[in-house]
Structure formats: C-alpha cells, structure tokens
Amino acid sequence: MPKTKTIKKIAVLTSGGDSPGMNAAIRAVTRKAIVNGMEVVGVQKGYQGLLEEEFIDFSMRSVSDTIQRGGTILRTARSEEFKSDEGKKKAAEICREYKIDAVVVIGGDGSYKGALGLSHEGIAVMGLPGTIDLDIACTDYTIGFDTAVNTALEAIDKIRDTSTSHERCSIVEVMGRNAGYIALWCGVASGAEDILIPEKYTYDEQDIINHIIESRKIGKTHHLIINAEGIGHSTSMARRIEAATGMETRATILGYMQRGGSPTCKDRYYASIMGAMASDLLYEGKINRVIGYRNGEFTDFDIDEALSMTKSISEYQYDIARVLAH
C-alpha cells in the first residue's frame, strides 16, 4: 500500500457520535483544501451517506457561519452496512466513480477502523479525532471533549448547590462510553467526594457508603458522586446508598446534553488546526494518517499504528483526585 499519492478531490464526513467542534474541523478541512487547489465534497450522514451517495459540492461559502455551531452540519450516522466487506468495497467503488481520491473521516476509533478498511480498498484516508470521550489512544486531545466537560460541569455545579441546601447525596452520571476521562475531569473540577470510573471501579459499594458515613462525621453537608456511563446503574445505586446511609440520595443522568452546545474556544481552535493539517498532509500526498495532539504538538500517525496504540488514565492523576476529595 503506497503511503503517498496525488490527491485532487477529497470527501469529508463525520461518523459515530457527534461532538462540538466537528463543524470547525469540517470548515478548516474544506477551506484549506480549496486554497491548496483541491476539490471538496461534503458527505452527509457518515459512511451510510457515502454508500447512498449523499454528496454536496463544497465551496468556501458552504462552511460559512458554522464554526460556532454545535453538532455537525454534515449529520452523522452509524452504518452496519459499511462494516461488512461488501459495504467497504461498494464505498470504494462509489469514491472512484465520483473521482474522490481521499476521504477525511472525523470520528472516534470505530470510525478510524472503518477508514482503515476503506484504505485497504484503495481509497486514501485521513482521520481526525472527533469524540467527546477522549478515548483515542494516539492523542491527548479529541474534538469536543473540552466543550462536553464544561457543559457537564455547569450542570454538576448546579446540582451541587441544591445538594448542599438539602444535605443530600447526589450521583451525577456523565458520558464517556467505556472511558472515565469525562468523569475524572468533572469529578476533580467539581470537588466531588467520589469519582467512579470504569478503569478503576471495584464494584464495592460499601466503600462509598463508608465514605459517606465518614464524611458526615467530619461535617460535610452533601456528598457528590460523579459516576461514569461505563459503570452506569446510577438510579439503583442511589436507592441502595439511601437505604444503607439514611441520607437522601438522588441520581441525575446528564445524557445527550453533553454532546450538544456551542463549542468552546479550545475545541474551535484545535479542530481548526487539525482540520487544516489534514488537508495539508493530503496536499503533500501523505495518506492513511490520523491527526493527533501529543506533548504540546499537533502531529500525525499512520492509521494502522494509531489503532494499535493504547492509553490509560494516569495513576498519579487518579490518586490526586482521591486525595482532594477528602
């Protein structure tokens, strides 16, 4: 598989869960590609839209007035059809028919796997990390995480206020799929008493109950627990904790609100740089790469290599979270 190729026409799509900042990425991919002399088509509804030839010819103006908007102007989807070998072959044939040399995929690691499959069918790809979950191994930053944690934090602060007034225990469930990054960041930033993340949780609720009883003894008037989606069961957990401690306990599942909203400055900025880099790399003929941010630098990796990487929550940061919660 050659790693360089002359790219004249690119397609851009968003795939998997939407995340704030995707529009800034689409805009930057489009504008930098056009400035570089390439043609751009927007694909609606991710890989499914690619299979259904839902293409829009993009100009500089197609992406006007989008940088501040949440969601994705291209819509997004999860496509079972594309996952099959026949689906990827058909998608590659459609790309060839439309003379699309490369597809820029903005999404999570599932979308990257799809992109890798498409590259095996002879279509050049470029991945941009678009997920609120921060769970892509090759990068310390993903588009949408910053907005999502700030949206969640605003809600958690409000719940904390009323929790203190009523001397309640509150369990707030945040998103993140199987990763605990959103929970860890929101837990530390909200001063939560307990932070439950899938990577560390022992499923021993007695630990939490003991912690609540201890906290009451030292005069804490509320008990805030941030629970990650990957653990879930917040409502039944609240019932069990209330029964065991006698402290009124309520669960709030923040849900999809964390995916929406106007992106923060950081998400707009990083998505803009990453999107522009994607088009520059393709212009230089570099293909089958993904863009990341590591050790203070924007960088790129081979997509195969990126998908084989792993990352984990820092032990040190997790320990700090526990110490500060006392």
CB closer to ligand ATP, 47 vs 301: 47
Cβ 45 to ligand ATP, closest distance in Å?
10
Part in contact with ligand ATP (CB under 6 A); list of ranges 62-70, 77-85, 190-198, 298-306: 77-85
Mention every residue, 6+ apart, whose C-beta is less than 8 A from residue 252.
Answer: 155, 159, 170, 171, 172, 173, 234
Cβ 319 to ligand ATP, closest distance in Å?
27
Q: Which amino acid is at 164?
A: T
Owner of token pair 């799929």: 177
9 near ligand ATP (CB under 6 A):
no
110 near ligand ATP (CB under 6 A):
yes
Site string for ligand ATP, 166-205 (x = CB under 6 A): ----------------------------------------
Part in contact with ligand ATP (CB under 6 A); list of ranges 58-66, 76-84, 160-168, 189-197: 76-84
Q: Which amino acid is at 47?
A: Y
Torsion of CA 130, 95, 300, 42, to 10 degrees: -40
120 near ligand ATP (CB under 6 A):
no
Active site residues per annotation: 133
Token duo for residue 315: 């032990």
133 near ligand ATP (CB under 6 A):
yes
Cβ 109 to ligand ATP, closest distance in Å?
5
The backbone torsions φ and ψ at residue 252, rounded to the nearest 5 degrees and listed phi first, read: -130, 125
Site string for ligand ATP, 34-53 (x = CB under 6 A): -------------x------
Mention every residue, 6+ apart, whose C-beta is less than 8 A from residue 80.
Answer: none
131 near ligand ATP (CB under 6 A):
yes
The backbone torsions φ and ψ at residue 8, rounded to the nearest 5 degrees and listed phi first, read: -110, -30
The backbone torsions φ and ψ at residue 56, rounded to the nearest 5 degrees and listed phi first, read: -130, 130
Largest CA distance in the chain: 71
CB closer to ligand ATP, 47 vs 283: 47
CB closer to ligand ATP, 15 vs 170: 15
Give CA–CA dist 98/100, Å, rounded.
5
163 near ligand ATP (CB under 6 A):
no
**Binds ligand ATP (CB under 6 A): choice among 62, 111, 147, 249:** 111
Token duo for residue 300: 């790129």
Give CA–CA dist 40/276, Å, rounded.
13
Give CA–CA dist 302/287, Å, rounded.
8
**Interface with ligand ATP (CB under 6 A):** 15-17, 47, 78-79, 82-83, 107-111, 113-114, 117, 131, 133
